[in-house]
Amino acid sequence: MAQNMPQVNAEFGAAPVIEFAEDQAPAGLKVQELVEGDGPMVRRGDTVTVNYHGVVWGNDKPFDSSFDRHQPASFGIGVGQVIKGWDQTVPGHNVGSRLVVSIPPEYGYGAQGVPQAGIGGGDTLVFVIDIISTR
Protein backbone atom coordinates (compact mmCIF):
# COMPACT_ATOMS: atom_id res chain seq x y z
CA MET A 1 0.00 0.00 0.00
CA ALA A 2 1.54 3.29 -1.07
CA GLN A 3 1.79 5.78 1.76
CA ASN A 4 -0.93 8.48 1.97
CA MET A 5 -2.74 7.17 -1.11
CA PRO A 6 -6.55 7.28 -1.07
CA GLN A 7 -8.60 4.11 -0.75
CA VAL A 8 -10.24 3.01 -4.02
CA ASN A 9 -12.46 0.03 -4.79
CA ALA A 10 -10.28 -2.55 -6.53
CA GLU A 11 -12.78 -3.92 -9.02
CA PHE A 12 -11.75 -3.44 -12.65
CA GLY A 13 -14.59 -1.87 -14.63
CA ALA A 14 -16.59 -0.76 -11.58
CA ALA A 15 -17.33 2.94 -11.11
CA PRO A 16 -14.53 4.26 -8.88
CA VAL A 17 -15.22 5.22 -5.28
CA ILE A 18 -12.37 7.26 -3.79
CA GLU A 19 -11.97 7.84 -0.04
CA PHE A 20 -9.33 10.19 1.34
CA ALA A 21 -7.97 9.24 4.77
CA GLU A 22 -5.25 11.92 4.58
CA ASP A 23 -5.75 15.67 4.14
CA GLN A 24 -2.28 16.00 2.64
CA ALA A 25 -1.40 14.50 -0.74
CA PRO A 26 1.81 12.46 -0.90
CA ALA A 27 4.89 14.23 -2.22
CA GLY A 28 5.77 13.59 -5.83
CA LEU A 29 4.21 11.40 -8.50
CA LYS A 30 2.77 8.16 -7.06
CA VAL A 31 1.12 5.16 -8.70
CA GLN A 32 -0.47 2.16 -7.01
CA GLU A 33 -1.61 -0.88 -8.96
CA LEU A 34 -4.88 -2.03 -7.37
CA VAL A 35 -5.53 -4.83 -9.86
CA GLU A 36 -2.77 -6.41 -11.94
CA GLY A 37 -4.03 -7.21 -15.41
CA ASP A 38 -2.88 -10.22 -17.38
CA GLY A 39 -3.05 -8.62 -20.84
CA PRO A 40 -0.23 -7.12 -22.90
CA MET A 41 2.03 -4.53 -21.28
CA VAL A 42 1.53 -0.88 -22.23
CA ARG A 43 4.67 0.62 -23.78
CA ARG A 44 5.61 4.21 -24.56
CA GLY A 45 4.31 5.11 -28.01
CA ASP A 46 1.33 2.73 -27.79
CA THR A 47 -2.23 3.88 -28.30
CA VAL A 48 -3.97 2.98 -25.07
CA THR A 49 -7.72 2.79 -24.38
CA VAL A 50 -8.74 3.47 -20.80
CA ASN A 51 -11.60 4.33 -18.53
CA TYR A 52 -10.61 7.00 -16.02
CA HIS A 53 -12.03 9.03 -13.16
CA GLY A 54 -10.25 12.22 -12.09
CA VAL A 55 -10.70 14.24 -8.91
CA VAL A 56 -8.79 17.00 -7.16
CA TRP A 57 -7.16 15.61 -3.98
CA GLY A 58 -9.73 15.62 -1.18
CA ASN A 59 -12.79 16.14 -3.42
CA ASP A 60 -15.39 13.52 -4.18
CA LYS A 61 -16.85 15.18 -7.28
CA PRO A 62 -14.90 14.32 -10.45
CA PHE A 63 -13.69 17.05 -12.79
CA ASP A 64 -13.70 14.45 -15.58
CA SER A 65 -14.79 10.81 -15.78
CA SER A 66 -15.06 8.53 -18.79
CA PHE A 67 -16.85 6.11 -16.42
CA ASP A 68 -19.64 8.69 -16.00
CA ARG A 69 -19.84 9.20 -19.77
CA HIS A 70 -19.77 5.42 -20.41
CA GLN A 71 -17.21 6.13 -23.12
CA PRO A 72 -13.56 5.05 -22.82
CA ALA A 73 -10.81 7.32 -24.15
CA SER A 74 -7.94 6.43 -26.48
CA PHE A 75 -4.68 8.33 -26.97
CA GLY A 76 -0.97 7.91 -27.45
CA ILE A 77 0.87 7.28 -24.18
CA GLY A 78 4.39 8.40 -23.36
CA VAL A 79 4.42 10.81 -26.30
CA GLY A 80 3.05 14.04 -24.82
CA GLN A 81 -0.62 13.67 -25.82
CA VAL A 82 -1.72 13.62 -22.15
CA ILE A 83 -0.39 15.15 -18.94
CA LYS A 84 3.11 14.13 -17.88
CA GLY A 85 1.79 12.21 -14.86
CA TRP A 86 -0.04 9.79 -17.17
CA ASP A 87 2.87 9.50 -19.61
CA GLN A 88 5.16 8.48 -16.74
CA THR A 89 2.86 6.07 -14.86
CA VAL A 90 0.69 4.16 -17.34
CA PRO A 91 3.48 2.54 -19.44
CA GLY A 92 4.75 -0.63 -17.80
CA HIS A 93 1.32 -1.78 -16.62
CA ASN A 94 -0.73 -4.52 -18.27
CA VAL A 95 -4.11 -4.42 -19.96
CA GLY A 96 -6.68 -5.32 -17.32
CA SER A 97 -4.92 -3.31 -14.60
CA ARG A 98 -6.61 -0.75 -12.34
CA LEU A 99 -4.30 2.04 -11.19
CA VAL A 100 -4.71 4.90 -8.75
CA VAL A 101 -2.33 7.76 -9.53
CA SER A 102 -1.56 10.84 -7.44
CA ILE A 103 -0.28 13.63 -9.70
CA PRO A 104 1.24 16.83 -8.28
CA PRO A 105 0.81 20.06 -10.29
CA GLU A 106 4.22 19.83 -11.99
CA TYR A 107 3.12 16.52 -13.58
CA GLY A 108 -0.45 17.72 -14.20
CA TYR A 109 -1.63 21.11 -15.37
CA GLY A 110 1.10 23.20 -13.72
CA ALA A 111 0.74 26.51 -11.92
CA GLN A 112 -2.08 27.65 -14.23
CA GLY A 113 -4.35 24.67 -13.44
CA VAL A 114 -7.60 24.39 -15.39
CA PRO A 115 -9.94 26.86 -13.65
CA GLN A 116 -12.96 26.00 -15.83
CA ALA A 117 -12.68 22.38 -14.62
CA GLY A 118 -12.19 23.42 -10.99
CA ILE A 119 -8.47 22.57 -10.97
CA GLY A 120 -6.31 25.11 -9.18
CA GLY A 121 -2.62 25.71 -9.90
CA GLY A 122 -1.50 24.01 -6.69
CA ASP A 123 -3.92 21.08 -6.84
CA THR A 124 -2.81 17.46 -6.72
CA LEU A 125 -4.93 15.28 -9.00
CA VAL A 126 -6.03 11.71 -8.36
CA PHE A 127 -6.95 9.43 -11.25
CA VAL A 128 -8.34 5.91 -11.17
CA ILE A 129 -7.36 4.34 -14.49
CA ASP A 130 -8.60 1.03 -15.92
CA ILE A 131 -6.42 -0.07 -18.86
CA ILE A 132 -8.77 -1.63 -21.44
CA SER A 133 -6.45 -2.18 -24.41
CA THR A 134 -3.16 -1.17 -26.00
CA ARG A 135 -1.84 -1.30 -29.55
Residues 98 and 118: their CA atoms lie apart, in Å, by 25
CATH of the domain at 97: 3.10.50.40
107 SS3 class? helix
**46, pLDDT greater than 70:** yes
Task: Give the ranges where 37-101 is alpha helix by DSSP (H).
Answer: 66-69, 84-89
| Residue 30 and residue 102 in contact, taking contact as beta carbons nearer than 8 Å | yes
Tell me how far CA of residue 135 lies from CA of 45, 78, 132, in angstroms.
9, 13, 11
Q: Are 72 and 78 in contact (CB under 8 A)?
A: no
Residue 49: inside a domain: yes
78-134, pLDDT tens digit by residue? 999 999 999 999 999 999 999 999 999 999 999 999 999 999 999 999 999 999 999
Structural domain harbouring 102:
7-14+25-134
Could you tell me if residue 2 is inside a domain?
no
Does 83 map to a domain? yes
For the chain, the domain total comes to 1
Q: Is the pTM of this model over 0.75?
A: yes
